[in-house]
């Protein structure tokens, strides 16, 4: 199939055509011609105002509901939501019930990639059933293809256990993931500890819960590396996920300056909402870690701009309505985000005049995940997002294609829409 795209702004920082407006011709899943003007015959000509192209997204953090949580999200609905949002590669947390923790389970997840046209990568659990007691067979999981290891959707609280995980995995080309939290400090918390928690009478979750966990893990990493006798693999990393406050960004920035093998990400909703958005007890905006202050939000954006933060993730956490449409202190934490990850980031980047936001959504996370990034170049395979600017519209529940509708972006105003998502010969999503 030949497709001709007319007057497309290229938003691909790895391409020689970055920030240029060009015509694009696709044939058999490849870019065959790129020029200022093309008048070639094609099976489909796409010619709309304000068209733009960006690489497809790599999402490093998606909560896995399978098996056991098919009522929240199944393979089909997860794939549909990902394709709509332009996410063609994603890492699934080890959060199914039962937890996928055998080589055969990882192979099953990989096979789902071929069935649904999404590259599903399974993060392997560090301990059996994420209980923080007995190790899984880490080496077997590694030899079966696991490159990322984590403790469910959080971090290991036992210091000795975390130390042993670092000591064992640092000799392998893998990434150990921690979503920093000190449970003893965050237990029973509902929102950020601050003005809003006081005004609303809700138990707060202090920033110290997060920063103390980061400091501990950085100290353990330093100790591990200093006693590794030169056996640390050059591609080993400790990755901190879902940073939410200014001091966390500062800690990672200093760790990188010291040369420690660390990386980190931030969830898109933490770049757009603050604790003030909870003032009306909106359970859709109850997330973990919680939304912090305006100063924290600005520090996160500074981390995005100066390279301290490596990636932006959706932290896609589907929930049925029964656990969200309740009193705030009984509501579950989490928001879906696959469908809105790109348009929310792109819109915010325009407002803040950040020119290379695609690096945080595509090339950087791709590199962390060991993937190659599709870029606009003649002869390259086509894999990316065609989108355009539209009149401002409110995001409503009927626009969500996933099974769960718990989006923090409900009623949020967007100014862009994805028209098509292409993956070589497959048009994954078509909203022409």
Angle of the 75-84 helix axis to the 103-116 helix axis, nearest 10? 50
The residue count of the chain comes to 432
- From CA 127, how far away is CA 105, in angstroms rounded? 15
Q: Return the closest-CA partner of residue 325 out of 404, 238, 216, 246.
A: 404
Q: pLDDT band at 285, cuts 50/70/90?
A: very high
Strand (E) or helix (H) holding 412: none
Domain 2-53+378-430 class?
Answer: mainly beta
Instruction: Cite the residue boundaries of each domain of the chain with CATH code 3.20.20.140.
Output: 56-368
Average pLDDT over residues 365-388: 96
For 331-359, the pLDDT digits (tens) are: 999 999 999 999 999 999 999 999 899 99
**If you average pLDDT over residues 147-157, what whole number do you get?**
97
Residue 411: both structure tokens together: 């009623």
Residue 259 β-bridge partners: none
Question: What are the structure tokens assigned to 158, written together?
Answer: 């036992």
Q: Which of 428, 347, 348, 416 is nearest to 384 (CA)?
A: 428
Q: Where in the chain is the domain with CATH 2.30.40.10?
A: 2-53+378-430
- Residues 223 and 215: beta-carbon distance below 8 Å: no
Question: 395 pLDDT exceeds 90?
Answer: yes
Q: What's the CATH number of domain 56-368, 3.90.550.10, 3.20.20.140, 3.40.50.300, 3.40.640.10?
A: 3.20.20.140
Q: Are 124 and 106 in contact (CB under 8 A)?
A: yes
This prediction has a pTM of 0.97
């Amino acid at each position: 199939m030949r497709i001709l795209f007319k007057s497309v702004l290229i938003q691909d920082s790895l391409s020689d055509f970055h920030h240029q407006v060009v015509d694009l011709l696709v044939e058999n899943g490849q870019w065959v011609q790129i020029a200022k003007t093309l008048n070639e015959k094609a099976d489909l000509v796409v010619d709309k105002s304000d068209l733009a192209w960006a690489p497809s997204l790599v999402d490093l953090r998606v909560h896995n509901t399978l098996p056991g949580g098919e009522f929240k999200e199944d393979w089909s609905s997860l794939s549909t939501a990902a394709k709509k949002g332009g996410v063609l590669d994603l890492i699934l947390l080890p959060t199914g019930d039962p937890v996928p923790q055998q080589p055969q389970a990882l192979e099953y997840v990989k096979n789902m990639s071929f069935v649904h046209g999404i590259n599903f990568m399974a993060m392997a659990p560090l301990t059996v059933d994420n209980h923080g007691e007995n190790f899984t067979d880490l080496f077997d999981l590694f030899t079966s293809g696991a490159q990322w290891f984590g403790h469910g959707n959080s971090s290991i609280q036992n210091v000795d256990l975390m130390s042993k995980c670092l000591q064992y995995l640092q000799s392998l080309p893998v990434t150990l993931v921690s979503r920093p939290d000190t449970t003893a400090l965050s237990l029973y918390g509902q929102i950020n500890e601050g003005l809003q928690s006081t005004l609303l009478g809700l138990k707060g979750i202090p920033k110290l819960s997060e920063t103390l966990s980061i400091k501990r893990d950085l100290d353990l990493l330093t100790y591990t590396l200093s006693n590794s006798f030169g056996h640390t693999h050059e591609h080993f990393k400790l990755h901190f996920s879902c940073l939410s406050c200014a001091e966390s960004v500062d800690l990672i920035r200093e760790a990188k300056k010291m040369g420690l093998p660390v990386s980190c990400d931030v969830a898109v909703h933490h770049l757009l909402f603050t604790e003030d958005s909870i003032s009306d007890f909106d359970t859709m905006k109850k997330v973990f870690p919680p939304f912090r202050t305006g100063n924290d939000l600005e520090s996160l954006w500074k981390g995005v701009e100066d390279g301290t933060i490596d990636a932006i993730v959706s932290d896609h956490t589907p929930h049925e309505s029964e656990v969200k449409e309740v009193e705030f202190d009984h509501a579950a934490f989490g928001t879906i985000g696959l469908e809105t990850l790109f348009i929310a980031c792109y819109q915010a980047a325009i407002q803040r005049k950040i020119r290379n936001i695609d690096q945080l959504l595509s090339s950087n996370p791709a590199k962390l995940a060991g993937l190659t990034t599709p870029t606009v170049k003649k002869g390259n395979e086509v894999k990316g997002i065609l989108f355009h600017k539209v009149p401002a519209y409110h995001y409503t529940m009927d626009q969500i294609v996933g099974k769960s509708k718990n989006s923090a972006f409900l009623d949020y105003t967007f100014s862009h829409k994805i028209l098509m998502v292409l993956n070589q010969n497959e048009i994954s999503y078509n909203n022409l």
